[in-house]
Structure 1
């Protein structure tokens, strides 16, 4: 037999006297995707802390690759992806068009990706290097140790979407004969290659993105590219296109991904998610400290919350913010 309170809640819900969130089961954990990259894992822990301490809902996480988490979200096997690069994955686009998933908010404005060099390279070795169009004259600066007549471009690892895009960009910018397209074995290997060069004060040309610890740790300059063009972008994402056209990458929009049932059942959390705004400079610095101190994402999230109340309090009703603050 159902408890009287459950029967009353069901009756009130049927009559429209309570919202679905009032009747949401606070004993069932809200499942977040267990994101493995730094900014996503930090954002996830910030959200979980607020959901648990401010709103009283238990949470847990479910691991998986980006695509598998998006598929799980569409099935409501998980309810939240804390950092969704909305509109890039075919799995996401399909689920969004079917009304199975929703991207909430604009959580990190000015998130970006592109080709970078350390600032000291421009200052000391390549004073006229401002855009990808200038790279032809500076291939000797970025000399490849195995092919010294060419420069070296550090691409993403094979298998990443950005690796295809960057390889096509080298062709589009007429640089494929002047630069070795060097693919690191993993994201960690790419980081190690870049960090090693910077620590030794050596020139290095590489693909990277933000928000990341690297951006918070070093003074890097993004090289200019032609303005974004949707048709040109299609030629860059197609590895078989023989005539790729140069353009900046698709503008990044970082959101919080939620399942359709979650959006319906937790309107107060959707309202909170829509207000999340993580200043990118603060986020990059937090990520850099997390990496330097070898903090867990949970510990870094706690430090972020303690050090930046003016940021997260703006997302929340006063009563909820007070509960969160008391828990820190």
Structure 2
């Protein structure tokens, strides 16, 4: 197992052009046997090679256009080629188009990061037709939005920060003036939720809500506040490089309450109540034929949920000069076997 991974990280495996090693080995053994063996004895039992884990067809995996999905496609392709001998094909993907294609013809076989709530009609139709199935969540966590504070601020607290405790700790952390809360742009739905949550937690007089004009101003305000070592809070989402690059701590937002969350999303919410942000369904989607024809590969993906914090780190690495999705994926496979090896080991023949 280790030698195959070393082959990848050394640049010897050309994923898209070189046949899978397991397939080459089977062909070599067949040719050697044909060249040197005597005629088979009539009636004698013939040895049958075990089936390949990936079957005898290339396995296509969708590489979506956003960075986290791109990285997942590259990582899974490397591991499957090295550990199971799969002949991998990485194909361009788009959320709706990929789901539609999987529903109609089962291609690609894998979509490693599908946000199904955003394409619910397409996904539900594919599920009803029994063409696709969810293997596992793409990430170990299901909450992707929340409030954060810089680690240098969290380290001054006696306990892990929580939204419920802000009414007590904000006056201590910012005794002279209201603490800035950097929200999202005013035309984003999260700006309404954040304003209502501030009210629900009793923070109106304790924080100053700042709503940047766009995503770029939002990131600039956060970076400037960190550089000044200013006590501040902010809203953000994951996976995202910013959270790893600048070292932030997520606040415990408490439990999710569906009725409260519906009101929080309403600009005219008359009585805001506390709730965490709604969870999102982000999955590894497989064509149904993967479960039927290549169960070892399906089992691999059923174990392949990645921690969000790890993806944040990968995205931060991808932002470094000269980094590419391929190089970041190769580094992950070479150095983070503690994370991915359990995905593999129970599925090997």
What is the TM-score when the length of structure 1 is the normalising length?
0.68
Residue matched to 1:109: 140
Match of 2:18 in 1: none
Q: Distance in 1 between matches of 2:91 and 2:268?
A: 38
Q: 1:276 aligns with which of 285, 304, 309?
A: 304
User: In 2, Cα distance between the equivalents of 1:317 and 1:127?
Assistant: 41
Residues 155 and 183 of structure 1 are in contact (CA less than 8 Å); yes or no, is this contact kept in structure 2? yes
| Alignment: residue pair count | 294
- Counterpart of 2:77 in structure 1 is 48
Match of 1:234 in 2: 262
Q: Give deviations 1:178-201, integer Å, cap 9, x for gaps.
A: 543514513x54333322321232
- Rg larger in 1 or in 2? 2
Q: 1:89 to 1:280 in 2, by over 3 A?
A: same
Cα deviation, 1:263-314, whole Å, max 9, x if unaligned, reads 4454332121112143455444343333335511211000011112333232
Whole-angstrom CA distance in 2 between matches of 1:61 and 1:104: 20
- Return 5+ residue gaps in structure 2 as ranges: 1-49
Cα offset for 1:139?
A: 8.2
Instruction: Evaluate the alpha carbon distance shift between residue 33 and residue 174 of structure 1 in structure 2; reply closer, same or farther with a 3 A threshold.
Output: farther
Deviations 1:63-96 (A, max 9, x none): 43x4555455444564432123555764466346
TM-superposed deviation, 1:116: 0.7
Judged with a 3 Å threshold, the aligned counterparts in structure 2 of structure 1 residues 74 and 180 are, in CA distance, closer, same or farther, namely: farther
The runs of 5 or more residues in structure 1 that have no matched partner are 1-17, 144-148, 322-328
Aligned-partner SS, 1:103: strand
Alpha-carbon distance in 2 for matches of 1:68, 1:158: 30
Matched, 1:59 2:89: yes
CA contact (8 A) 2:240 2:312 kept: yes
Instruction: Please name the residue that 2:211 is paired with.
Output: 182
Residues in 2 aligned to 1:168 and 1:101: alpha-carbon distance in whole angstroms: 38
Distance 1:246 1:101, change over 3 A: farther
TM-score by length of 2: 0.65
CA distance 1:123–1:184, shift in 2 (3 Å): farther
* Range that drifts further, 271-280 or 285-294: 285-294
